[in-house]
Amino acid sequence: MSRWLALLPLAALVLLALMFGLFSLNRDPQVQPQAMVGQPMPALTLPRLTDGAMRPLAQAAGGRPVLVNFFASWCPPCEVEHPVLVDLAAQGVPIIGVAYKDAPPQTQAFLTRLGDPFTEHLVDRDGRAGVEFGVTGVPETYLIGADGVILAKHSGPLTAEDAAALWGRRE
């Protein structure tokens, strides 16, 4: 009887492994949570990259359609997407950059090296703003309407086609 009791933890572990395995087989890895789409942009105040002064995100948006891009200097896909953001900025698209869980000196070096497409530079050092927005990983880009409502979300690096489709949804 004591041998069967000794095997009980192993049996429980095997059962848990089977449950997690079955769950992962039925899960679509392409699903991108869009919970914040259609909701007002979170009322956040974040420090600016340049001087650390606190800046309300709504004030940075300025009552116009904008893109809010969460990025990080340590993020290889962010580097891949960066030329697309630079092109958007050259076309006059306002983009608010939020440095996600990144140190300001590294963020500044990243922007100096690759170019600076952002009309505003905000810092989310502890990731709380990302949680408020529902960020699942960087890069992520949100289209904010003139009324402050999140109109669309794109997870992963933007391609030129993705950027055109996202910005085209502003009306």
CB proximity list for 40: less than 8 A, separation 6 or greater: 148, 149, 150
DSSP string, 131-142: HHHT--SSSEEE
What confidence tens digit (pLDDT) does each residue in 103-149 have? 999 999 999 999 999 999 999 999 999 999 989 899 999 999 999 99
pLDDT confidence of residue 35: 73
pLDDT digits (tens, 9 = 90+) for 22-77: 666 665 555 456 778 999 999 999 999 999 999 999 999 999 999 999 999 999 99
Round to whole Å and give the CA distance between 100 and 167: 22
- pLDDT at position 112, please? 97
Residues 107 and 122 sit within 8 Å (Cβ to Cβ): no
Least confident of 85-89, 97-101, 104-108, 131-135: 131-135
Domains of the chain as residue ranges with CATH = 45-168 (3.40.30.10)
